[in-house]
Structure 1
Amino acid sequence: LLEQLRSWSFDCAAAESGAVGLAFLDRACQLGASVDCIILDYQMPGMNGADVARAIAADSRLSSIPVVLLTSVDQVDFGRMVIDFGIVAHLTKPARSAVLLGTVISAIQKARTQGAKAHFVREPVVAQAAPPAFTVIRGPAVPVPAAPESTAAPSGPIDILIAEDNDVNQLVFGQILNGLGLSYRIAGNGRTAVEMYRSLRPRLVLMDVSMPELNGYEATRAIRAIEQQNGSHTPIIGVTAHALKGDREKCIEAGMDDYLPKPVSPDRLGAKIGTWLSETVAAKTA
């Protein structure tokens, strides 16, 4: 889990038990280090996830930190934990990487928008002092944009145009591209993608094949028709829901250059983008 989060450029640390985790949070508060999100395993030695969530909810210093619960069992009364402790999300292990990333980003964004979980009423308790187990050294927080489209200027050119209608997938793509240092804009449907292609002149397009207005295949054909008029060619990578037989052929037939099945990992997306952007540069300099 740590390696996965670090691959997305999150600054993170792990604790082997609930007690150590609470000591970590206490020490972070003493040092003035902010914690943006807590991923909490329900099954732990000593204190279980509910015990830790209860302690976090009762501590005024920690109660506004969003908590994502991980569990391998379905007997947990998640609804009760939401009411009692303010748990913001529940994932069943093993959680898919794309779902985990989208959940964490969404939790952080909602916490920053709301400022605090004011709708949960908690009784103050006297916290037991815990000896500092270690010192937390934290770098600058990873920026999480309120809206992915704001990462690029209103007019082009940009590095990447993302054509994707699913909110979680938009967050996943945005976080990965932020980590790669690439500028991007997001189109929520195929028709908007074609319009944004005209105005933003992206170096590469990530095209979801299933979208409203125009699907990815139709949007690609419209873009290729535009390019026939000006003699240009922008790489388009089709993004499909599953790695099904024939998906690549459908993408190529529609005019796409490559395809990428979901869930999308940072490594695979970065490799695809690097390959096609480098080929584009080489073609222009040849």
Structure 2
Amino acid sequence: MTAVEDGEKLDTTRLAQVKRCLVIDDNASNRLILEHMLQQWQVECDSCENGFDALKRIIDSAPYDAIICDYHMPYMDGLETMRMIRETLILRDGYTPVILLHSSSENAELHEKCANLGIRFRLSKPVKRDDLFAYLSNLQHPETAAPSLPMEVARETETQTNAPRPGVRILIAEDVAMNMLLIKTIVGTLIPGAVIVEAINGADAVDQYKRGVPDLVLMDVQMPEMDGLAATSVIRELETVTGRHIPIIALTAGALKGERDKCFAAGMDDFLTKPVAPEKTKAVLDKYLSGMQ
């Protein structure tokens, strides 16, 4: 939980460099409390419940001055979330300070992982108002260290797909870089050790298929040079020679019956609606890769 405190009034001028903050926490009550604290300090706050939604916010909005991220979250923990966000911010606007909230006993492994990701601030829960204020006040001071505070052990959430599939090969065809990053992160989180092959359009997807037949294809429908429907038709033609049938999953911006019918007519097996959701992606991967060990 996150604590609510009513102490002496804090000097909000110390937060002059923190105008906008993103809160990432799967617990709605915790998000509400953090939002309340930030609003009291005149800090504009956006909040979301997981790393995938956070990435969408970062892509679609103006830069944030700070990110407050919970460590224990389903599908993607706080460190994986920050790794994904760091990659995105490198593409966009560089460094953004992060405060990691956690409930597990602090150890050397967590410290090392945070250091590798450039996370200098680790704040134990329940979050104290004065501690959070102090961290936000010192985001620009590299000498500030994370304190050792009492913490309780939290239960890890099982997020991987049903069975380990070391070396499974997945071809992702997507022409938008940010969409590719999101889909790669979801797949990599659900199937650790998967070999992910990227293609930037339909023609590239066909070439990648010829170089090494994947176990599953995630195919964007709308792409330049050759769209996903045409690429699927070419791949199905190639399979008349090989005798194999590789699952091809359409990535589509719409779920209208007419568009779905076009996907199935081209030879696709299933579809995912963008923006891709981790729960639905997990269901599709389990469905078509369940026989692989």
Q: TM-score, normalised by structure 2?
A: 0.52
- Residues 75-128 of structure 1: per-residue CA shift (max 9 Å, x gap): xxx86x85xxx3489xxxxxxx9xxxx9965532256795777xxxx876999x
**Where do 1:116-265 residues align within 5 Å?**
132=149, 134-135=150-151, 158-181=168-191, 182-265=194-277
Displacement, 1:45?
6.6
List runs of 5+ in structure 1 lacking aligned partners: 1-13, 20-36, 55-67, 72-77, 90-96, 140-156
**Conserved 8 A contact 2:171-2:199:** yes
Question: Secondary structure of 2:244's partner?
Answer: coil
Matched residue, 2:87: 109
User: Distance in 2 between the 1:125 and 1:220 partners?
Assistant: 51
Displacement, 1:38?
5.6
User: Distance in 2 between the 1:209 and 1:232 partners?
Assistant: 22
Matched residue, 1:39: 24
Displacement, 1:223?
0.9
Displacement, 1:240?
1.0
User: Distance in 2 between the 1:258 and 1:223 partners?
Assistant: 15
User: Distance in 1 between the 2:202 and 2:5 partners?
Assistant: 46
**Conserved 8 A contact 1:42-1:49:** no
Matching residue's letter, 1:47: M
Q: CA RMSD in A?
A: 4.7
List runs of 5+ in structure 2 lacking aligned partners: 7-21, 26-30, 49-60, 69-74, 98-138, 156-166
- Residues 212-242 of structure 1: per-residue CA shift (max 9 Å, x gap): 1111001101111211222222111111112
Larger strand fraction of residues = 2
User: Distance in 2 between the 1:169 and 1:262 partners?
Assistant: 9
Q: TM-score, normalised by structure 1?
A: 0.53
Check 1:131–1:188 CA distance in 2 against 1; reply closer, same or farther (3 A cut).
Answer: closer
Count of aligned pairs between the two proteins? 196
Question: Secondary structure of 2:172's partner?
Answer: strand
Question: Secondary structure of 1:239's partner?
Answer: strand
> Relative to structure 2, which stretch is displaced further, 169-178 or 249-258?
169-178
Matched residue, 1:70: 47
